[in-house]
Amino acid sequence: MSDGTPADLFFDAAIGLLQRVREEEAGAISAAATLLADTVASGGRLFAFGAGHSSLAAQDVVYRAGGLALMNLLTVPGVVGVDVTPATLGSALERVDGLASAVLDTSPLRAGDALVIISLSGRNALPVEMATDARARGVKVIGVTSVAYAAETTSRHSSGTFLKDHCDIVLDSKISVGDAELTLDTIPAPFAPASTVVTTALMQAVVATAAAALADRGIEPPLLRSGNVDGGHDWNARVMTEYGDRIFYRH
């Protein structure tokens, strides 16, 4: 590791990755935003899913001040975060065949909806099957993943494919295999993951672009406001009433 504090080096690495996705994924961000805007305009619903730490970026765009009220979290019990005990169970569930189909069977997803699937590696059965099964049901799929994993690792799905192979649009987070940006002679393993920083920024960039795209069409984007500003609760109540049939985190 070169000169500079670990904090400085991490910020440099994160900023470098953000600059890469800003420049190299601009087209995919625009396409993903258009897909979300199209879905909202046509009466469809929006969903986001991620397993383990990938769920953090999905949760960040659900029921979010400044975000689209129509974005719903697609939950899979045991894999939404690290709240399950033991935490390692979540990792094991990602490799279970058939789990995605069971979740979709009992979810509100239907043809005409859009689903964002976030998976850093994109190699486990759960995100692969989630994408294939959702598309088979007429759902448009946006994948947020690190394409590098497909080149440097093997799939854990029976098809030998990755999440990126089953999406209408792919956003590449550019995260290196292993998700650790720093090394130090005195520490035996690489450390300091940046995937959450980058993936969350990608998601917010897509949502922001979708909101602007709706406004360009003369459609007021169904945005939420902070409940900690005056009038925020009244604003949100109006939006939730107007779009109540497409918001599932209230029930």
pLDDT tens digit string along 213-242? 999 999 999 999 999 999 999 999 999 999
Task: Report strand pairing: 140-145 vs 114-118.
Answer: parallel
**Mean pLDDT, residues 133-158:** 95
For 149, the 3-state DSSP assignment is helix
Whether residue 2 is predicted with pLDDT greater than 80 in this model: the reply is no
**pTM of the complete model:** 0.95
Going by pLDDT thresholds of 50, 70 and 90, the confidence category of residue 94 is confident
Going by pLDDT thresholds of 50, 70 and 90, the confidence category of residue 102 is very high
Whether residue 137 is predicted with pLDDT greater than 90 in this model: the reply is yes
Task: Please give the Cα distance from 166 to 142 (Å, whole number).
Answer: 9
CB atoms within 10 A of CB 14: 18
pLDDT in tens, 147-180: 999 999 999 988 989 999 999 999 999 999 999 9
Task: Please give the Cα distance from 141 to 126 (Å, whole number).
Answer: 14
Task: Please give the Cα distance from 222 to 67 (Å, whole number).
Answer: 8
Mean pLDDT check: name the lowest of 17-21, 72-76, 80-84: 80-84
Considering only CA atoms, which of 122, 129, 131, 51 is closest in space to residue 92?
A: 51
